[in-house]
Amino acid sequence: MNRKSKRKRILWYVAGAALCMALGIGILIYGDYSAGTAVVRDGYLHVPTGARYEQQLDSLREGKFLRNEGRFDRYARYRKLNEKVRPGRYKLQKGMSYKRLIGTLAGGLQSPVNLTFNHIRTKEKLAGTVSRYIEVDSLTLLRALENDSVAASYGFTHASFIGMFVPNTYQFYWNTNATGFLNRMKKEYDKFWNDAREAKRKAAGLSRNEAITLASIVDEETRMGDEMPRIAGVYLNRLRTGMLLQADPTVKFAMGDFGLRRILFRHLETDSPYNTYKYPGLPPGPICAPSVRAIDAVLNAERHDYYYFCAKEDFSGYHNFARNLAEHNRNARRYSEALNRRGIR
């Protein structure tokens, strides 16, 4: 074999060895990327809207999620995760590979949150509750809720807007903003008013706002679901005959004091369109975001001839019902005496 052929063969051997080494290294790297453990603990990573890659990396570091930050950074940059960060809430699981972790973040594969709200009396409370679940801050959401133009764009007035929010548990992506939240709630509101509920509402001669406003009063009067249809029937009887509703919860709302345990005559003088002891008919809007069972109680109100009710003197949460004022006064006297015995002023 001549010297030239020998040199050529050596070069081939060297090239082959280098190629094998490169392939071996590549296989090791790919194996680490696709199967190596990247995440060392379970948890959720929150990536704010507008965050840059460095902020995302900081969050992973501060959360102590990564086994090897340097490797993650190299793989992430190779996958160009640093060029496009997707905001959201991501569920990270112990043992996740670099490939799965980076794929989750790059693909925006969020884990939704279950947003629950109920027994909401004010827009401030609604904004504060919602902001604990999704990215929107409470002040931004409150500004939208207090904006008359925003309310009008959804078909509501300033007073009736709270009625658009039907209490329930809803799934949202964490990075939902105020507009996204309101749009979703309007869709849920329209879905809530299905054909069956609409038929009952029309049969009762109520608008949606009137039904929800009445339901909000019923919801504040009792927590006893089995009694709600009867209380709704009392108020409907009063509305039909032109009587003042004289609902104590509307006085509390008018005064902005929901902790009042005893309504006195001086409270009844509060000058507000929400004070149903002074102004006839329903208030201009709901005094809370009523529960579904309270709305359905209004739509399925009991038919009877009761015009009055008063809390039972046993403090069970139930009420005594009366057909006339004399009967009601006797019930009220028993309850008042029970309050006195307990020292409730």
Do residues 63 and 141 share a domain? no
Please identify which residue in the block is written with the tokens 């504040």: 220
What does R_g of the chain's alpha carbons equal in angstroms? 32
Do residues 212 and 269 share a domain? yes
Do residues 275 and 252 share a domain? yes
Q: Calculate the CA 338 to chain-centre distance.
A: 39
Do residues 182 and 220 share a domain? no
Mean pLDDT, the chain, integer: 90
Q: Is the dihedral of CA 222, 223, 227, 232 positive or negative?
A: positive
Per the CB < 8 A criterion, the answer to whether 185 and 161 are in contact is no
317 is a domain residue: no
Across the strands, what pairs with 92?
A: 43
pLDDT in tens, 52-91: 999 999 999 999 999 999 999 999 999 999 999 999 999 9
218 is a domain residue: yes
**Where does a domain end: 65, 93, 111?**
111
Do residues 211 and 292 share a domain? yes
Query: Would you call 279 exposed, middle or buried from its count of C-beta atoms within 10 A (0-12, 13-18, 19+)?
Result: middle
At residue 27, the pLDDT reads: 37
**Where does a domain end: 73, 92, 111?**
111
Averaged pLDDT, 185-194: 98
Per the CB < 8 A criterion, the answer to whether 131 and 303 are in contact is no
Single-letter amino acid, residue 86? R
Strand pairing class (113-117; 88-92): unpaired
Strands of 101-220, DSSP E: 113-117, 168-172
200 is a domain residue: no
CB-CB neighbours of 127 under 10 Å: 23
Give ∠ CA 36-39-45 in degrees, rounded to 5: 145
- What residues contact residue 316 under an 8 Å CB cut-off, 6+ apart? none
265 is a domain residue: yes
Do residues 239 and 297 share a domain? yes
pLDDT in tens, 295-326: 999 999 999 999 999 999 888 889 999 999 99
For the stretch 244-248, contacts whose Cβ atoms lie closer than 8 Å and that sit 24 or more positions apart, written own/partner, are 244/276, 244/277, 244/278, 244/279, 244/280, 245/217, 245/276, 245/280, 245/281, 245/282, 246/276, 246/277, 247/217, 247/220, 247/221, 247/276, 248/221
Per the CB < 8 A criterion, the answer to whether 45 and 89 are in contact is yes
128 is a domain residue: yes
Closest CA to 111 of 84, 133, 80: 133
Strands of 132-211, DSSP E: 168-172
Do residues 68 and 154 share a domain? no
pLDDT > 90 in the chain, percent = 79
Do residues 40 and 106 share a domain? yes
Single-letter amino acid, residue 48? P
146 is a domain residue: yes
At residue 15, the pLDDT reads: 45
Out of 199-213, 234-248, 254-268, least confident range: 254-268
Single-letter amino acid, residue 162? I
* Distance of alpha carbon 92 from alpha carbon 77, whole angstroms: 19
Do residues 107 and 136 share a domain? no
**Where does a domain end: 58, 78, 111?**
111
180 is a domain residue: yes
Per the CB < 8 A criterion, the answer to whether 244 and 328 are in contact is no
Do residues 106 and 118 share a domain? no
CATH label of the domain that carries residue 91: 3.30.1490.480
Whole-prediction pTM: 0.85
pLDDT in tens, 14-27: 444 444 444 333 43
158 is a domain residue: yes
At residue 17, the pLDDT reads: 44
Closest CA to 42 of 93, 90, 89: 93
Averaged pLDDT, 165-181: 97
3-class state of residue 345 by DSSP: coil
| The total number of structural domains that make up the chain | 3
Per the CB < 8 A criterion, the answer to whether 217 and 247 are in contact is yes
Do residues 97 and 148 share a domain? no
Expressed as residue numbers, the domain containing 65 is: 35-111
Per the CB < 8 A criterion, the answer to whether 130 and 136 are in contact is yes
For residue 3, pLDDT over 80 is answered with: no
Do residues 215 and 299 share a domain? yes
For residue 344, pLDDT over 70 is answered with: yes
Closest CA to 144 of 120, 178, 115, 187: 178
Please identify which residue in the block is written with the tokens 């693909």: 107
